[in-house]
């Protein structure tokens, strides 16, 4: 175990989503000393930071009872939602599954419901303090409970709220995972949550709200995204959103906007706090990328048996962009161009 006198700073895996971050989370989950927290903030939501100080009981409620965000996310089926709803022995259904049970705890332990029961008193007993302090205490408790040396949180699409995470956890380091924007945009266009996000953004244009523009404004985006979430869950039927108006080019522009925002954000970080991981490199040279990944987290965690196991996780993925017609390829390539150029991909 790593010496407590020199603890390992926490890490966030940040990405646009649909670009291989789940793969990285799965690789890290194989490491016996890494606490791989999957989709924690996706399901708990940034609304948990709305108040400067919260009681432990309130923070546990945010983790253990469905909020508006969780209900919206549970409307679809996707691989990141791993709670075993179909198991007859499961305690919860989609109507009452706690946010922390949707993916985070099942990712960590086979007996996730037992771990959930242990967590309640741990969080509830905490004093009134900033939400980040509550979450840090939770993650550190899980690390001790499961005998891990460092926690690494990964939520899909976290570039949307990465600025807030970095403000709340100023000592954290970043693993930025990215992929060819054209392939990422196509994957987004076929994923329920991203379709809902873009359809909601399109619907908000009729209210005079340019959501894409607010994405580039830091804290303005924090307020806009929370307002969108609340308004959508209260007043909009997600089934009636204008999904039919979405194009591949829309998803390409959305991806480019996220990449440009991340480029400005990560440009402030020194090299020892940022690791860029290209999805295609992890596929073609998984051993080297696994080694680079764990050395960034902490060289003391380098483990040959883990590197071998982690190297088996990446799988070749055929290009979906190559299968598009010429017109669709041209339109998508054009909207992806700004982000592709920033990441060094040929255009």
- How does pLDDT run across 208-252, given as a tens digit for each residue? 766 666 655 555 555 556 555 555 555 456 777 889 999 999 999
Domains of the chain, by residue range, sit at: 9-33+150-347, 40-148
**What pLDDT score was predicted for residue 221?**
53
Secondary structure (DSSP) of 115-176: HHHHHHHHHHTSPSB-HHHHHHHHHHHHHHHTT-SEEEEE-TTGGGTHHHHHHH-TT-EEEE
User: What's the rounded Cα separation, in Å, for the pair 302 and 22?
Assistant: 21
Check residues 93 and 69 and name the one with the higher pLDDT.
93
Element (H, E) at 309: helix 304-310
**Residue 289 gets which letter from DSSP?**
H
Q: Domain spanning 9-33+150-347: which CATH class is it, in words?
A: alpha beta
Cα separation, 74 vs 96, in Å, equals 10
Buried-state track 244-258, b at ≥16 Cβ within 10 A, e below 16: eebebbbbbbbbbbb
Give the integer Cα–Cα distance in Å for 16 and 343.
13
Which whole number is the average pLDDT over 271-300?
Answer: 98
Q: Which of 83-87, 184-188, 206-210, 326-330 has the lowest mean pLDDT?
A: 206-210
Tell me the two tokens of residue 67.
């909020």
How far apart, in whole angstroms, are the C-alpha atoms of residue 119 and residue 260?
Answer: 38
Among 115-129, 137-151, 233-247, 276-290, which stretch is predicted with the lowest mean pLDDT? 233-247
Diameter over CA atoms, the chain: 60
Lowest-pLDDT range of 35-39, 79-83, 281-285 = 79-83
Report the pLDDT value the prediction gives residue 249, as an integer from 0 to 100.
97
Q: What distance lies between CA 94 and its chain's CA centroid?
A: 20
Percent of the chain with pLDDT over 90: 79
The rounded distance, in Å, linking the Cα atoms of 49 and 167 is 11
Q: For strand 11-14 and strand 173-178, is the pairing parallel, antiparallel, or unpaired?
A: parallel
The confidence score (pLDDT) of residue 235 equals: 47
Nearest to 46 by CA among 227, 226, 265: 226
Distance, CA of 320 to CA of 328 (rounded, Å): 12
Among residues 14, 11, 10, the alpha carbon closest in space to that of 261 is found at: 14
* Mean pLDDT value across residues 273-284: 98
Which residues sit opposite 276 in a β-bridge?
176
Radius of gyration of the chain (CA): 20
The burial of 273, by beta-carbon neighbours within 10 Å (0-12 exposed, 13-18 middle, 19 or more buried), is given as middle
């Amino acid at each position: 175990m790593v010496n407590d006198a020199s603890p390992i700073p926490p890490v966030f895996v940040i990405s646009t989503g649909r670009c291989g971050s789940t793969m990285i989370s799965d690789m890290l989950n194989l490491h016996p000393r890494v606490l791989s927290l999957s989709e924690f903030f996706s399901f708990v939501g940034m609304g948990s930071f709305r108040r400067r100080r919260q009681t432990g009981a309130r923070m546990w409620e945010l983790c253990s009872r469905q909020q508006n965000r969780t209900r919206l996310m549970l409307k679809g089926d996707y691989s990141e939602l791993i709670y075993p709803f179909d198991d007859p022995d499961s305690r919860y259904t989609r109507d009452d599954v706690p946010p922390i049970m949707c993916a985070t705890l099942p990712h960590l332990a086979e007996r996730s419901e037992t771990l959930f029961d242990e967590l309640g008193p741990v969080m509830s007993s905490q004093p009134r303090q900033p939400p980040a302090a509550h979450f840090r205490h939770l993650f550190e408790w899980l690390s001790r409970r499961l005998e891990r040396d460092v926690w690494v949180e990964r939520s899909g699409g976290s570039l949307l709220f990465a600025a807030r995470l970095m403000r709340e956890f100023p000592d954290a380091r970043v693993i930025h995972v990215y992929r060819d924007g054209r392939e990422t945009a196509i994957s987004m266009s076929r994923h329920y949550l991203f379709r809902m996000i873009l359809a909601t953004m399109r619907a908000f244009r009729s209210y005079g709200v340019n959501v894409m523009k607010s994405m580039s404004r830091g804290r303005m985006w924090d307020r806009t995204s929370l307002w969108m979430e609340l308004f959508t869950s209260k007043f909009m039927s997600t089934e009636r959103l204008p999904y039919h108006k979405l194009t591949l080019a829309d998803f390409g522009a959305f991806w480019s906007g996220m990449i440009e925002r991340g480029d400005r954000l990560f440009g402030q970080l020194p090299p020892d706090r940022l690791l860029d991981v290209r999805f295609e490199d992890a596929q073609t040279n998984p051993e080297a990328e696994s080694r680079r990944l764990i050395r960034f987290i902490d060289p003391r965690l380098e483990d040959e048996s883990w590197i071998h196991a982690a190297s088996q996780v990446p799988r070749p993925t055929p290009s979906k962009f190559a299968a598009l017609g010429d017109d669709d390829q041209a339109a998508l390539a054009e909207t992806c161009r700004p982000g592709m150029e920033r990441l060094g991909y040929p255009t």
